[in-house]
Amino acid sequence: MGKQSRARVLAGHQAMAVARNIRVSPRKLNLVAQQIRGKKVDNALNVLTFSPKRIAGVIKKTLQSAIANAENNHDLDVDDLVVKEASVGKNLVMKRFHARARGNAGGIEKFFSQITIVVEEKREEKAEEAKPAASSKKSGGKAAAKKTSAKKPAAKKAKKEAA
């Protein structure tokens, strides 16, 4: 008789990883997180690998953890994963002081933050099927546009005659 397990928060085609107590301010962490939102996982890993920001390594490690969770715990296909969400939040703040002139003190705040990365499985087949259909619509759309442009003057003539 153990404790009952919590209900799953995410959908069946999603996986998550959280990194807490990262020693960087949330503003700086969010700059790197913006670069990977909505991208395919392999593109996001490349962006993080070649990013000049120090914190990109920690985000890369968290993303790799989310990918491993998706593969091992939820049986998702790694090739179809997309970064659905990369949310940054505040964590603790260490307060220090710096001695100033005439016995005063200046406050220093050392921010910590956390990042939550959610990856989602999206199939490429849907996009590939839509592309040929879209190309046929384009050619049909051009012909339809030509026909409607020919009808517009006739419609204007009818309005003039009615007036």
d(CA 117, CA 86): 4
**33-42, 82-91, 140-149: lowest mean pLDDT where?**
140-149
Per residue in 52-79, pLDDT tens? 999 999 999 999 999 999 999 999 999 9
d(CA 116, CA 131): 33
Q: What is the mean pLDDT of residues 145-158?
A: 56
pLDDT at 130: 56
User: DSSP class of residue 20?
Assistant: E
Per residue in 78-116, pLDDT tens? 999 999 999 999 999 999 999 999 999 999 999 999 999
